[in-house]
Amino acid sequence: MIKDRPRIRLYYISMLPLVLAFIFFSGCNVTKTVPENDALFTGYNVTVKGEKDSSNRSADLETELSATVRPEPNASILGWRPKLGIYNAFYTEKEKGIKHWIMTKLGEPPVLLSEVDTGSISTVMSNRLHNRGYFNNTVSSSATIEKKKATIDWTARVGEPYRLRNIKYTWHDSLQVQEAIEQVEPESLLQPGDPYDLSVMTQERIRIAGDLKNKGYYFFSPELLIYSVDTTVGNRQADVLLRIKRAAPARALKPYSLDDIYIFANYSMGDSLSVRDTIDYKGYHYIPNENYVRARHLLRNVFLEHDSLYTRQEHLLTVKRLNSLSAYKFVNIDYEVDTLNNNELDAFIYLTPALKKSLRAEVKMVTKSNGFAGPGLSVSFRNRNAFKGSELLIVEFTGSTESQIGGRGTGEAPEGVEDVDNTDLTSYELGVQTTLAIPRIVSPFNIRNLRTEFSPQTRIGLGFNFLSRAGFYQLNSYNASYAYNWRPKEELTFDVTPINLQFVRLASTTDAFEAVLEDAPFLRRSFENQFIIGSIYQATYSTQMHTDRTSLLFDRLTLDLSGNLVSGVQSLIGAESPTDDDPRTIIGQPYSQYVLLDNDFRYYLNIGEESQLVARLVTGIGYSYGNSSTLPYVKQFAVGGPNSLRAFRARSVGPGAYDADETAFSFFDQTGDIRLESNLEYRFPIFGFFKGAVFVDAGNVWMLRQEFNDKGEPARPGGVFDSSTFLRQLAVGTGFGLRIDIEFFVIRLDVGIPVRIPYLPRGERFVLGDFDGSFSGENGMVLNIAIGYPF
């Protein structure tokens, strides 16, 4: 029975197109469930006609008015309405059963013409136009019905909008707020000659209230400002008068300074607010004691000061900085008028601790497109307040195994290496990584506290990893790092690792692996025991947090340096110049010397509410010199895999036009000194949490210098970068994907189809014509299963 399971799976896979075809053709009759004497509402159009309108706002007005149409027609993709198609295909009058569940949960009933109240929508549109200065406007609609499908056309006719003539801010001289208002008036959003616009007038009220909030007016709000508009002055003009309501409370019209500031550093709901156990520290009342987070560490994130003027800006900065501390899960700040001085406020900062310690275990199954798979286990311990300064300590233990379960790698096993069967262990990996994240800059130099919304961070890392490849080698790697991270503003992040130490050591090798290294000097040098001693500098610019924008950007630039400082010191003390056979050493081991520059650029274009076009360009170059003739293996570039070229195995492409043949047998990947990779992906909704995508990927890696074997022959012919041929050596793939996006995580299935294979002879590299729809063979499809979006 076990041997028949693949046939069963293939049967269901082969039936899938038939099921999809059934849904598609059932959905072709979109009016199947539309009642008699009604029609399916399929679309609408809004046109604004204003021949005498000099404001040139027709396009913006049409977009604004279109947003008022309710309900929206059934969702469509290239004219096909998938959710309506499912509803029609599984339509049943029964109120239970699988068909009813599919119809109601995955499908969508037809949106009918009778559900569209054109009169009410026209009234809303007219009101919107009135708010934009078109006090005399008309809105009409007409419906077109053909074969039980209806479209509606709205036409709005407008003239020249009313424009602002005089703008006056009338205040009472006796009010203390007068001077503050006069200071912000020059930055007014209302200017003479501008079209009357209610939304701009509302924004002006918010702007003034916000400025006053930052001048101590804690109780002031936009609702205390009121407009008077006179449209009878003639010539389509309006005079605007802005004033404070006469009923405004007195406390809203005067500024406040801060008196006592109480910090409840270990607060929980229901706690008594007694201040008996109070520590006075630098003018703050710290309650109850320092048994949780020490005051000197906490106060670096508090920007409210005794005797200072209350400002909304300092309030928000304090809230955001305290929220970034791992020791706390809730932050709240309240203010009360001081009981002795009614011109001052007392501030109460309530900090609710997060769960201090936690243990997390994760079991995962790793499947690779080259036929290797195996289980993995990750166990992590977290302490969110390790040393009473909100330090986050993470200790993570990982382990995984990989066995060959679906054929073997792309090449034949090297001579002397026995083929492994499906039950033999191919490799296993064990590791431990400790990271301490400190929410402040820890430095031998005195650095002032950064006034940013995001708490600066110092990271200290220490780890060890052991990898055993059965039949080939065992590898030990050690790492230690000291890094800083800070965000001067929301879109920009700097990550500086001044100390980055790694040591890689081959613990043991087999004769077969030594034979391969003997024939490939470049690979031997990559695997030599060596230190990586250097620094990493990274800058990231991203606007992805602004989800309301049409286009979004992401760019990450990385500079990785190693060996320069050590080499400079050794040169100063008179060390001999290094050679390939006799490099300089530290503690008897050579060290790497290189410079590496990498850039990852992405552009996101939002099309509609859920569709998105994403373009990505990744470039990188690494150059070894001085004490190294090649980049360390762990620093070399590679392409291919679920987040790269999805039509090719992970790290299996290149360099250049080089054909790896038998050296691609499972234990090392194709790498290079230069990387060029580009991706274009269109993402669109299908229904519910099912999303779709189509994509095109292209890229390759190349060497900077030719490498030779012991016979003096090129070790990887066709792998050196050549500006005149590199475009012809790009690997190209296309494909489609299905994503299950349930907000907090995404399961992704991408099917990659090879289009161009660079290592084939010229004239034979385009292989799309040989595509047969199978997952087998050199030109077959590749299934990528991953978590999260590729970029």
Per the structure, the complete domain to which residue 170 belongs is given by 163-253
- Separation between Cα atoms, residue 791 and residue 133, nearest integer Å: 44
Mean pLDDT of the chain: 86
**Does residue 621 register a pLDDT over 90?**
yes
pLDDT on residue 364: 67
User: Which of 140, 157, 174 delimits the end of a domain?
Assistant: 157
117 and 46 in a single domain? The answer is yes
DSSP state letter for 160: P
pLDDT band for position 26 (cuts 50, 70, 90): very low
**CATH number of the domain within which 120 lies:** 3.10.20.310
- Please, what sign has the CA dihedral across residues 332, 336, 341, 344? positive
Give the strand pairing for 731-741 and 357-367: unpaired
Q: What angle do CA 513, 517, 519 make, to 5 degrees?
A: 120
Lowest-pLDDT range of 117-121, 318-322, 364-368, 677-681: 364-368
Q: What pLDDT shows up at residue 403? A: 64
What residue type is 497 in one-letter code? T
Question: In the prediction, which pLDDT does 423 show?
Answer: 41
Read off the pLDDT of residues 328-370 as tens digits, 9 standing for 90 and up: 999 999 999 998 999 999 999 999 999 999 999 887 655 544 4
Same domain membership, residue 296 and residue 262: yes
Neighbouring-strand partners of residue 142 = 153
The residue from 232, 253, 274 where one domain ends is 253
Do 214 and 263 reside in the same domain of the chain?
no
pLDDT digits 0-9 by tens, 144-159: 999 999 999 999 999 9
| pLDDT, mean of residues 577-606 | 91
At residue 172 the predicted structure's pLDDT band, cuts being 50, 70 and 90, is low
Q: Let me know: does 614 contact 602? Beta carbons within 8 Å.
A: yes
Q: How many residues does the chain have?
A: 791
270 and 193 assigned to the same domain:
no
Residue 289 tokens read as 């004691």
Specify the residue for token string 């790896």: 660
Q: Are strands 225-230 and 690-702 parallel, antiparallel or unpaired?
A: unpaired
Average pLDDT over residues 432-444: 94
Average pLDDT over residues 442-452: 83
Count of C-beta atoms within a 10 Å radius of residue 564: 17
| pLDDT greater at residue 471 or residue 134 | 134
The answer to whether residues 38 and 153 belong to one domain is yes
- Number of neighbouring beta carbons within 10 Å of residue 176: 12
pLDDT at 210: 94
Task: List pLDDT tens digits, range 158-168.
Answer: 999 999 999 98
In a domain, 94, yes or no: no
Same domain, 248 and 263: no
Give the start-end residues of each E strand in 305-416.
328-337, 344-353, 357-367, 372-383, 392-404
Residue 206, φ and ψ in degrees, nearest 5: -65, -40
Task: For residues 298 and 258, give the distance between their C-alpha atoms in angstroms, rounded to a whole number.
Answer: 19
Matching residue, tokens 């400025």: 211
Mark which of 218, 253, 288 sits at the end of a domain. 253
pLDDT digits (tens, 9 = 90+) for 691-736: 899 999 999 999 998 887 777 778 788 899 999 999 999 999 999 9
Give the closest residue to 767 by CA, choosing from 729, 733, 726: 733
pLDDT digits (tens, 9 = 90+) for 641-657: 888 999 988 778 889 99
Per residue in 510-537, pLDDT (tens digit) is 887 777 777 666 677 667 778 899 999 9
Range 466-487 burial, b when 16+ CB lie within 10 A, else e: ebbbbbbbbbbbebebbbbbbb
What's the CA angle centered on 213, arms 207 and 214, to 5 degrees?
Answer: 95
Most confident of 121-130, 508-517, 522-531, 736-745: 121-130
Instruction: Please check the confidence at residue 255 and state whether its pLDDT lies above 80.
Output: yes
pLDDT for the residue 183: 83
* Count of alpha carbons within 13 angstroms of residue 188, beta-carbon side: 16
* pLDDT value at 460 more than 80: yes
Per-residue DSSP letter, 116: -
**Residue 596 domain-assigned (yes or no):** no
d(C-alpha 180, C-alpha 187), whole Å: 13
Residue 204 lies in a domain: yes
Q: How confident is the model at residue 226 (pLDDT cuts 50, 70, 90)?
A: very high
Q: Which amino acid is at 590?
A: P
Looking at the 3D structure of the chain, how many domains does it have? 3
Q: How is residue 549 written in tokens?
A: 């924008």
Answer whether residue 406 shows pLDDT above 50.
no
Whether 771 contacts 753, CB under 8 Å: yes
Residues 40 and 152 in one domain: yes
Q: Is residue 412 part of a domain?
A: no
Res. 269: pLDDT tops 80:
no
Query: In the prediction, which pLDDT does 506 show?
Result: 83
Q: Is residue 183 part of a domain?
A: yes
Q: Which amino acid, residue 431?
A: G
* Residue partners of 427: CB distance under 8 A and separation at least 6: 401, 402, 467, 468, 469, 470
pLDDT grade for 446, boundaries at 50, 70 and 90: confident
On whether both 129 and 241 belong to a single domain, the answer is: no
Q: Is residue 387 scored above 80 in pLDDT?
A: yes
Assigned domain for 146 exists: yes
Asked if residue 282 and residue 171 are part of one domain, the reply reads no
* The pLDDT of residue 768: 85
Q: How confident is the model at residue 470, as a pLDDT?
A: 75
Lowest mean pLDDT among 328-332, 464-468, 514-518, 762-766: 514-518
Supply the pLDDT for residue 397. Answer: 96
Q: Who has greater pLDDT, 173 or 351? A: 351
Contact 77, 84 (CB under 8 A): no
Q: For residues 380 and 615, what is the distance between their CA atoms, to the nearest angstrom? A: 35
pLDDT band at 275 (very low <50, low <70, confident <90, very high): low
* Domain shared by 267 and 226, yes or no: no
pLDDT for 372 beyond 70: no
- Residue position matching structure tokens 């063979």: 777
Q: Judge whether 275 lies within some domain.
A: yes
Q: What is residue 538's three-state secondary structure?
A: strand
pLDDT band for 741, please (50, 70, 90 cuts): confident
Sheet with 279-281: strands ordered across: 279-281, 284-287, 257-264, 344-353, 328-337
The answer to whether residue 120 sits within a structural domain is yes
For residue 550, give the 3-state DSSP assignment: coil
Asked if 49 and 148 sit in the same domain, the reply is yes
Alpha-carbon distance of 52 to 363, in angstroms, equals 68
- For residues 634 and 127, which has the higher predicted lDDT (pLDDT)? 127
Same domain, 195 and 170: yes
DSSP E strands in 158-250: the ranges are 163-169, 225-230, 237-244
The residues, any chain, with a CB within 8 Å of residue 91's CB and separated by 6 or more, are 32, 33, 99, 103
pLDDT of residue 128: 96
First to last CA, the chain: 41
- Compute the average pLDDT of residues 434-445: 92
**How many Å apart are CA 718 and CA 531, to the nearest integer?**
30
Residue 420 is predicted with a pLDDT of 41
Tell the residue number behind the tokens 């001579």, with chain if given: 415
Tell me the mean pLDDT in the region 190-197: 94
